[in-house]
Amino acid sequence: MVKAFHLIAPLLLSSALFQGVAVAATDHNYCQSAPLRSDAVDYPSKHAWDLFLMLNHPALDRRIARGQPDCTKPIGQTGSTAVWESWRNAGKIDVPGEVFLEGGTEPPDWNDNTIKDEKPGSVPPAAVDAMSVLGNIEAFASSSADASFHDLALIDRINPQFSPGDGVFKGKGAFGETRMNRATYEFIKKNCLWSANGLRRYAEAFLEGKKPAIQFPTDSMEVKAAWIDFETQKIPQDKWDTYYVAEYNGRKFGLETLHILTKDIPDWFWASFHHKDQLSIGSAKDPIIKGAEHEDAFGRPKILDGTVWQNYVLGGTQIEFESSVGVPSQLSDAVVEKGFVTSSCITCHATATISAKGGGMPEGQQKAICLLSPETIGYDDCRKLIGDRYFVPGKDEIVSTRGAPLPEWYYDKSDKLTYLPTDFLYSIPQRAQVETSSPPVRCIW
């Protein structure tokens, strides 16, 4: 065992440096190797778990640096806060957060902490302390070597739990939270995409040929975390410490779902994790809803055994609109996408757009759902939204389900682009606020 430790030490040290944090030579380095981009396509389940390890690693105190792992702590250490929670909070409609500020003003530098943020979550004290489990260095070595639809006005007959229009779970005792890493944040800053007026100016500049289509850099990442209120959801108290926990407005919440989105591939890499006690779609508990979760071909890394993170499962990954034989791909989470679980992350997010006249494509999310599960929205509404020709005449039947959006949603009749995609990111068009003062001169293109 001692020998194995000596062999892997240099490898671990170099990976920590790669993540930008040096560790003192005498300290044990608990950071994992950075996920390998090519795994996004070659081995998606492994890639999802590698991202899970990286993003849930204890974060450095954000007053030292945001978004950096603390390599002196093992994953799951009691009281630690995950790396993704030190990213910038996109905020909610009523609470502007740390990116899309009130009055549409430019948000500060990445490491600035002057804007008040919600108190982050942490590993609960009663969970088994990872330190004792990680005495087993071999387990550690092997895992590191392997190395809103949410505008419900149109469809009020269904009652989704989640209302990402404002990032908050309504009425059912839970809330959602969106955070972005430094590369994503700095791209938004550089391109002045933080205000509604800035989005309109960008779309205009694109039409005038002054700006390229919106393409985030390859190291961009965002997460959406969904939390449940232990009390209103009647989670037995002896289960509370199986969740990563947060306190909000004096109440305790457990992390139910973690959606991870990375620009490892052009149309992003999509992954969904959830707590093991929460409904798995297509499981024996709910056999009616099939197909939206997939088998985990990799399996939970051993290093998570004995930590709070051992209670999380991979719901699935998504890397394309459709399979090579034209079958639409699907992925969703039973809680976050409740009411529209026969859906596809990538298809819905493709409708995140802006325009030169302000605002994005009308009813984009509903249109995306009509392609896969028109019964969710209703056949009559879907006929109006995506056109009669996609339905069998006189029948409530779609001619063929689709995974890719329709070009006519974006282009007008003369093939001019009306709606410019925001590179799949919905937080931008949904959260950007109206400017109440002049933007920096560099934002007038």
Minimum CB distance to ligand HEC smaller for 144 or for 257: 257
Among 96, 121, 164, 403, binds ligand HEC (CB under 6 A): 164
Q: Does 99 bind ligand HEC (CB under 6 A)?
A: no
Q: Does 311 bind ligand HEC (CB under 6 A)?
A: no
Region class of 104: left (phi > 0), else alpha (psi between -120 and 50), else beta: left
Among 167, 198, 301, 360, binds ligand HEC (CB under 6 A): 167
Closest by CA to 225, choosing from 416, 325, 82, 116, is 82
CB 207 within 8 A of CB 417: yes
Among 83, 369, 398, 404, binds ligand HEC (CB under 6 A): 369
Closest by CA to 263, choosing from 6, 47, 59, is 47
CA distance 437 to 272: 39
What angle is formed at CA 386 by the lines to CA 382 and CA 388, rounded to 5 degrees?
Answer: 80
Please report how many Cα atoms fall inside a 13 Å half-sphere around the Cα of residue 267, on the Cβ side. 18
Which residue bears the tokens 């391109």?
Answer: 191
Minimum CB distance to ligand HEC smaller for 74 or for 328: 328
Segment contacting ligand HEC by CB under 6 A, of 20-28, 197-205, 232-240, 331-339? 331-339
Among 28, 37, 150, 172, binds ligand HEC (CB under 6 A): 150
Minimum CB distance to ligand HEC smaller for 145 or for 406: 406
Q: Does 343 bind ligand HEC (CB under 6 A)?
A: yes
CA distance 20 to 341: 38
Q: Does 176 bind ligand HEC (CB under 6 A)?
A: yes
> Taking CB under 6 A as the criterion, which residues in 383-422 touch ligand HEC?
none
Among 229, 256, 337, 363, binds ligand HEC (CB under 6 A): 337
> Taking CB under 6 A as the criterion, which residues in 258-297 touch ligand HEC?
259, 261, 270, 272
Q: Does 374 bind ligand HEC (CB under 6 A)?
A: no
Tokens of 270: 């999509």
Closest by CA to 192, choosing from 207, 179, 178, 205, is 205
Please report how many Cα atoms fall inside a 13 Å half-sphere around the Cα of residue 96, on the Cβ side. 16
Segment contacting ligand HEC by CB under 6 A, of 61-69, 139-147, 240-248, 328-336? 328-336
Q: Does 225 bind ligand HEC (CB under 6 A)?
A: no
Which residue bears the tokens 């850099």?
Answer: 217
Q: Which residues bind ligand HEC (CB under 6 A)?
A: 148-150, 164, 167, 176, 178, 222-224, 259, 261, 270, 272, 331-333, 337, 340, 343, 345, 348-349, 365, 368-369, 425-427, 430
